[in-house]
Structure 1
Amino acid sequence: MNLELYWVLGLLLGAVYFFVTNRIRMDVVALLLIVLFVLSGTLTLEEALSGFSDPNVILIGALFVVGEGLVRTGIAYQVGDALVKVAGSSEIRLLVLLMVAVATLGAFMSSTGVVAIFIPVALSVAQRLEIPPGRLMMPLGFAGLISGMMTLVATPPNMVVNSELMRNGIKGFGFFGVTPLGVVILLLGIGYMLLMRHRLVREPSDKKRSSLGRRSMRDLVREYRLGGRARRLAILPDSPLIGHTLDELQLRARFGANIIGVERWRKFRRVMVSVSAISQFQARDVLLIDMPDPQEVRRLCSEGRLEPMVLRGEYFSDQAREVGLAEVSLIPDSSLLGKTLREVTFRNVYGVSVVGLRRDGSALEGWLVDEPLRMGDTLLVAGNWSFIRQLQTHVRDFLLLGLPAEVDEMAPARSQAAYALIALAVMVLLMVTDPVPNVIAALVACLLMGKFRCVDLESAYRSIHWPTLLLIIGMLPFAMALHKTGGVTLIVDGLMALVGGMGPRVMVASLFILTAVIGLFISNTATAVLMAPIALGAAQQMGVSPYPLAMTVALAASAAFMTPVSSPVNTLVLGPGEYRFMDFVRIGVPFTLLVLAVCVVMVPLLFPF
């Protein structure tokens, strides 16, 4: 080996060391590699920076924006609702459905795109079921990789190997030629993740504990004892409230009823709408009311022709996309001090209703509107998220404290959901039919998302996970460095001399291992380009069919389970799952060995030697 190759391998080992120890951020390590390649003369400036123009980098960035559009329009959470509805409270059923859905969609479109789309869905579902995100993120990533084993067009390595067969005058694989193997590996992956899911999360650090401990709306309801005060009352068809405004009815003065919101039928479902003094009630409306006195509730129902309805403990969390809860704390010199909520006319001034009050660490019960406010009081307010966010501008009267976890599910562009679906459908159609490269399909979807106001520039730039892109950009030049210094050629040339005489099954295992190891450091497409000719050459020298060895290379190129930099799919789930480098090693290596065993056993059965 020449000195330049020693240098490249040394840099490789150094990068792996920092990835494993996590002493330096992975994206910083990647940028250091670019600098060292140029300073050492191993790569030219253009070669070292080639990752910035790589289509896969642009594709991943564009898919982050597409995913943000699905979140802002509420589509991602609607998919989550469907998964939760089918899975119920079963984490096992949820994991199975998630992996099957991702693997199925990824069989016909970019697995990276599918995973990027499903990440916000999985995070939302995990939050609702109170499951650590780490239990779903790695199964999501593994399902994305397995999707490459489902059809011939599921991933570029499959098509690279198929093209190599045809280039050598050999008939290629059928469209579903790889599918039986993919289905078996998917079932194996589901079973493996069900067994390992409790090992997918680590004990969080103190810093993580505080972020994970952000209170939910359910916590706020319990702390302010809102459960015993809130009521749901349906307006019957003959109610005298119909057609009158809130100001005309004077429900607070007559019954002590504090209207928080109104559920109203729109397009075959109930949605929560904000209320004001001029809000007019309609038949079939359901009033969400803060009323502490049960006798007054009965009197209001009798006189107003209202019917009590069930109010579950998780009601506010379920309505989190339309109505929010938040805490505000009064400060010295506030104009509210000494006044009652009735005198302040809080809802008319700020657009939200006060539904709870804490003083000296304890929630006050009973009628709150006539309670004089004191310095240090903390108010629980309810209303539209846009009004809640505006509270932070009233810094002379109170401070808006930390918002509950459900604020992440707010869909500010919910009305544009249909256009987001159109943009997504266009992207999927272009990726499946392949008239343009995947990156162009994703950019078209981004432009459509912007045109239809599903995303704005600020949210688009904020949605891109720049450390992920920098990590990929920094690792891409390694393939070029290994080529230039002869490292890949040296490894491949030794294969035949080492195991060429040990039989075809040993060759299958060796090709799988070598392909998987090379795939740790360079893209799976480049790995397939390098290994496909070697597989066909080995088959020719051994006098066996080229199909089993070619299929082994295709499967091994997608078996990038062992590190977070082995595939963009793994890198996508690294942050949301709060994983470290070694988490992929300890979970991915055993599963890669299982896939290896499947290949050694099943490939010769489906494609005889």
Structure 2
Amino acid sequence: MSSDLLLVLGLLAVVVTLFIVNRPRMDVVALLVILFLPLSGILTVEQALAGFSDPNVVLIAALFVIGEGLVRTGIAYCIGEWMSERAGRSEARLLVLLMVAVAGLGAVMSSTGVVAIFIPVVLSIAARLKLSPSRLMMPLSFAGLISGMLSLVATPPNVVVHSELVRHGLAGFSFFSFTPFGLVVLVLGIGYMLLTRHWLNGEVRKDGRSETRRTLLDLVLDYKLSGRERRLRIRPHSPLIGHTLGELELRTRHGANVVGIERQHKFTTRVIAADSGTVLHQGDVLLLDLFANHDNLRSLCQAMQLEPLHFKAAYFIDQSQDVGMAEVSLPPGSQLIGKNLLELSFRSRYGLNVVGLRREQNAVQTPLVEEKLRLGDTLLVIGPWKSVRQLQAEPRDFIVLSLPAEIDQVAPARARAPQALASLAVMIALMVSGLVPNVIAALIGCLLMGAGRCIDMNSAYRAIHWQSLVLIVGMLPFALALQKTGGIDLAVTALVSLLGGAGPQAILACLFALTALIGLFISNTATAVLMAPVAVSTAQQLGLSPYPFAMIVALAASAAFMTPVSSPVNTLVLGPGQYRFADFVKVGVPFTLLVMVVSVVMVPWFYGL
């Protein structure tokens, strides 16, 4: 064993230790590796920095942008709403739909992002069905991990393993090479979670609400808004048609506060902001906050030729993609103190309507138009999310106390969903056909997302998870250093000498177990970078096809089911699911063993040995 190899192995031990304690951050450790290897003379500067020019690093960055485009256009949230409607009150049907939806989305975008999107959706469904979130959160995280086994671009380890095959002059994996294995594991995962969900019985709050950020429903209940919401459609001969809200003075004359207007736009219905200059059209649906009894409402509808419509949820919560709320308080020196809303021209000035007022912790239940505002009053405002966010730029007049959890789910480019789907379809078609390299296909998809205004440049840069990219860039030269100093050959020789007589399946099982165990302590991406060269070199030394060996490493890198810290998706659901460390061990270890058995049986049968 050479001194250079001893030095690299010592560095590897230090790096793994730092990864485990997570100090400093993993990307910082990766940068230190890039710094150390050329200074030690093991690699040249060009070799140490080669990761920055690796096409697969650019591919992974582009996939982050594609995923953000799907989020900003609301595609993921629409799937969540569809899933909730289809599931009804059946927990089993909900679990199946949840895992299928999350795995399907995770096949083309970041599984961590998908799980983050679905956490509030699952919490709200669990509250509605009076279920413990723990019965759904672990299936959510498992589906996110399984999604990594469904396509080439589903997770960075797949791309890393593919890149290792290409580096050895092989064809690499196709877009759907992983799909047969992932589909089988997904079916097994659904069946397994249906059987074991009874092991995950956490507590349900008596009021049915989960311990999370306040939601729109919480605000509606706190300010006693239920019963005041109305949806009224403007009929063909209504005297409102052609007039502005300012001219009609509905708030002053009828106590009707227009908080938004549903208007047909080509093929979709959108909610637009309501201000004094908004002109009303035939067919518009007015979203009203109305202090009026049934007789007054009937009189208003007759006089103004308005048709009452039903609504799905309390106080327009079903409109939460377009209409938002926020709580604000009035600090000393605020220009609003001592004035009423009419004097302030509040709606024209801020693009928002005040629909609730709490004074001394009690909700005021009288019309607010002429109510003089006092120091310490808490206002509930409603309007477009863009205007809600802009309140934070008014620190002199407002203190924004809270923004509801739904603000994280808003899709600012929802009308661009068809363009986003078309961009995704083009990218997948180019990858599957092989007309252009994968990285070029992904960049074309990003440009189409931008051209279709599904995402802007600022959002695109923010979407890229730079820590993951720097980690890959830092670990790629580490694998090269191990190969250059003989570390890979040493590992392969030890593996073959120990298990060579037991047959290829035994070596595949050992590779799976070793990859899964290393993945408990360091990221699955770093694990794939270290294990992919070992797998391919082992196959070459045995004179066998490298594809099953590479596939086993890729599948094992996604099988991070055993602990809450072995993958970011597990960590995300730890709090909302109210899990303990032992819960993941109890449920995750048997499932990991099941996945290993299935993989060791399927992969050689599929590729041949």
Q: TM-score range by the shorter chain?
A: 0.7 to 0.9
One-letter identity of the residue aligned with 1:41: G
**Is the Cα–Cα contact under 8 Å of residues 341 and 371 in structure 1 kept in the other structure?**
yes
CA distance in 2: counterparts of 1:200 and 1:480, whole angstroms: 44
Q: 1:144 matched to which residue of 2?
A: 147
CA distance in 1: counterparts of 2:482 and 2:590, whole angstroms: 27
Cα-to-partner distance string for 1:331-384 (whole Å, 9 max, x where unaligned)? 323332222223323223322211111112221111211211111112111122
Q: 2:129 matched to which residue of 1?
A: none
Matches within 5 A, 1:530-545: 530-532=534-536, 534-535=538-539, 538=542
Task: Establish whether residue 40 from structure 1 lines up as the match of residue 35 from structure 2.
Answer: no
Q: CA offset at residue 398 of structure 1?
A: 2.7
One-letter identity of the residue aligned with 2:148: L
SS in structure 2 at match of 1:281:
coil
Q: CA offset at residue 414 of structure 1?
A: 3.6
Task: Establish whether residue 122 from structure 1 lines up as the match of residue 118 from structure 2.
Answer: yes
Cα-to-partner distance string for 1:150-179 (whole Å, 9 max, x where unaligned)? 99xx97858988999999xxxx99999987
Q: 1:567 matched to which residue of 2?
A: none
CA distance in 1: counterparts of 2:391 and 2:604, whole angstroms: 67
Q: 2:551 matched to which residue of 1?
A: 554
Task: Establish whether residue 30 from structure 1 lines up as the match of residue 34 from structure 2.
Answer: no
Q: CA offset at residue 550 of structure 1?
A: 5.9
One-letter identity of the residue aligned with 1:534: T
Sort the Cα spacing of 1:364 and 1:516 in 2 relative to 1 into closer, same or farther, 3 A: closer
SS in structure 1 at match of 2:271:
strand
Q: Which consecutive unaligned segments of at least 5 residues does structure 2 have?
A: 127-132, 204-209
SS in structure 1 at match of 2:444:
helix
One-letter identity of the residue aligned with 1:144: S
Matches within 5 A, 1:507-518: 507-510=507-510, 512-513=512-513
One-letter identity of the residue aligned with 2:7: W
**Is the Cα–Cα contact under 8 Å of residues 235 and 306 in structure 1 kept in the other structure?**
yes
Matches within 5 A, 1:565-580: 573=569
RMSD between aligned alpha carbons? Answer: 4.4
Q: 1:399 matched to which residue of 2?
A: 399
Task: Establish whether residue 286 from structure 1 lines up as the match of residue 285 from structure 2.
Answer: yes
Q: CA offset at residue 91 of structure 1?
A: 6.3
Q: CA offset at residue 45 of structure 1?
A: 2.7
Sort the Cα spacing of 1:433 and 1:322 in 2 relative to 1 into closer, same or farther, 3 A: same
- Per the normalisation by structure 1, the TM-score is 0.79
Sort the Cα spacing of 1:296 and 1:178 in 2 relative to 1 into closer, same or farther, 3 A: closer
Q: 1:230 matched to which residue of 2?
A: 229
CA distance in 2: counterparts of 1:371 and 1:175, whole angstroms: 63
One-letter identity of the residue aligned with 1:558: L
One-letter identity of the residue aligned with 2:475: M
SS in structure 2 at match of 1:560:
helix
SS in structure 2 at match of 1:288:
strand
Q: In percent, how many aligned pairs have the same letter?
A: 49
Q: 2:317 matched to which residue of 1?
A: 317
CA distance in 2: counterparts of 1:404 and 1:63, whole angstroms: 29
Sort the Cα spacing of 1:450 and 1:313 in 2 relative to 1 into closer, same or farther, 3 A: closer
Sort the Cα spacing of 1:370 and 1:249 in 2 relative to 1 into closer, same or farther, 3 A: same
Sort the Cα spacing of 1:90 and 1:190 in 2 relative to 1 into closer, same or farther, 3 A: same
Sort the Cα spacing of 1:450 and 1:308 in 2 relative to 1 into closer, same or farther, 3 A: closer
CA distance in 1: counterparts of 2:200 and 2:165, whole angstroms: 33
Q: 2:207 matched to which residue of 1?
A: none
Task: Establish whether residue 376 from structure 1 lines up as the match of residue 376 from structure 2.
Answer: yes
SS in structure 2 at match of 1:381:
strand
Q: 1:53 matched to which residue of 2?
A: 53
SS in structure 1 at match of 2:335:
coil
Sort the Cα spacing of 1:237 and 1:526 in 2 relative to 1 into closer, same or farther, 3 A: same
SS in structure 1 at match of 2:501:
coil
CA distance in 2: counterparts of 1:606 and 1:52, whole angstroms: 35
SS in structure 1 at match of 2:445:
helix
CA distance in 1: counterparts of 2:383 and 2:147, whole angstroms: 39
Q: Across the two proteins, how many residue pairs are aligned to each other?
A: 579
**Is the Cα–Cα contact under 8 Å of residues 327 and 403 in structure 2 kept in the other structure?**
yes
Deviating more after overlay: 224-233 vs 529-538 = 529-538
One-letter identity of the residue aligned with 2:350: Y
Q: CA offset at residue 415 of structure 1?
A: 4.1
CA distance in 2: counterparts of 1:437 and 1:583, whole angstroms: 44
Q: CA offset at residue 417 of structure 1?
A: 3.6
Deviating more after overlay: 295-304 vs 47-56 = 295-304
